Amino acid sequence: NAGVTQTPKFQVLKTGQSMTLQCAQDMNHEYMSWYRQDPGMGLRLIHYSVGAGITDQGEVPNGYNVSRSTTEDFPLRLLSAAPSQTSVYFCATSFGGPQETQYFGPGTRLLVL
């Protein structure tokens, strides 16, 4: 039982490059979400999903896409990376929704040059 896993742990991109941050969970959780963490700003919600096939926008969705084709996986895509997307990205999951205990992955540290 791995819990919530995120890959890669660390990534450097050049402006304009694309990449996908992976998030996987083996807890059969319906609710999955992506946050970015920036100094002095806490965690901000990017996108979330209440189940396979359903996604919705959070506070800061611009520049990011998500999909949820399976219960287990919730990838976050950056289509054209910008320096403003330099951040630490966390995936979080819960069984039923935002009102339940969130289980966080270890994070992906992204640097965009």
* Interface positions with other proteins (CB under 8 A): 4, 33, 35, 40-45, 48, 58-59, 90, 92, 98-99, 101-102, 104-107
**At its nearest, how many Å lie between other proteins and the CB of residue 29?**
14
- Residue closer to other proteins (CB basis): 17 or 104: 104
Give the integer Cα–Cα distance in Å for 84 and 106: 21
CA-nearest of 35, 36, 73 to 51 is 73
- Residue closer to other proteins (CB basis): 56 or 70: 56
**At its nearest, how many Å lie between other proteins and the CB of residue 92?**
8
- Residue closer to other proteins (CB basis): 58 or 75: 58
**At its nearest, how many Å lie between other proteins and the CB of residue 46?**
11
**At its nearest, how many Å lie between other proteins and the CB of residue 3?**
10
CA-nearest of 53, 63, 1 to 26 is 1
Cα–Cα distances (Å) from 36 to 1, 94, 104, in that order, read: 25, 17, 12
Contact 52, 70 (CB under 8 A): yes
- Residue closer to other proteins (CB basis): 16 or 98: 98
In 3-state terms, what secondary structure has residue 84? helix
